[in-house]
Amino acid sequence: MLKFENIIARKPCKAMLEGISTGMFSDDKPVYEKAVDQHQEYVETIESLGVKALVLDALEEYPDSCFVEDPAVVMKECAIITNSPRESRNGEKYEIVPAIKKFYADEQIFHIAAPGTMEGGDVMLVEKHFYVGLSDRTNKEGARQFNEIVSKFGYTSSTIPVTEGLHLKDFVIYLENNNMLVSAKMNEVPEFHEFNRFVVPTEELYAINSLNINGTVLVPEGYSKTLEHIKSLGYPVIVVNTDEFKKIDGSLTCLSLRF
């Protein structure tokens, strides 16, 4: 099992009301005050599982900056600063570097460079293999550079087309122990057929993005079928409310970098 000792998170900013949204999960605008409370609960929940949190100040100039998973990909051996193709998000990569440098030496920090693009929401680790989603945010060149970097540390990677929504991990999540949560479309991907897959019902699609922290699975509030399935697999479960972040396509994994 992957063991996490630290997370990096960033407080939501008031500008999050103008965050990017596909409208897939909600047409509503976030309520900032509720988002602040939900974010604090999220951090405290992860800390209760034996993980130390570094919580960064809000960045008003970047509406989506609370989603710290996107400007970097972190692992034990190194950190990779990504390169978003969205102008409103690209500057976040510079803002995350000082936090990354608290944990990684300069020679452990790598960068995805143009014309490569990548956001961390498209990167899913399974044991020592990364599945990289090819999406509107992550392109083939970004995936190629990523593979070149991680291969230095004994990892492998492959690409998966993202044909629905924003990021790969909105539609497939690895829970450890060979278990996956998938959408109906991701269930058809041959690369995932070796796993024990649960096809999340369409009305509970948001619950795919659940998060295993040291053996306990965090599940978004309000998705009883997915919750009961995860319990049936034997995982301890904590329900966390991320409704305000859902309104701008944010979910449990988006809100932290874990290592």
Catalytic residues: 167, 254
3-state secondary structure (DSSP) of residue 227: helix
Distance CA 175, CA 212 (A): 6
Dihedral pair phi/psi, residue 99, rounded to 5°: -70, -40
Gap between the Cα atoms of 120 and 82, Å rounded:
7
Rounded to an integer, what distance in angstroms lies between the CA atom of residue 9 and that of residue 254?
Answer: 9
Torsion of CA 246, 249, 252, 254, to 10 degrees: -150
State the CB neighbour count (10 A cutoff) for residue 159.
21
Cis previous bond, 115, omega within 30: yes
Instruction: Report yes or no: 111 and 86 within 8 Å, Cβ to Cβ.
Output: no
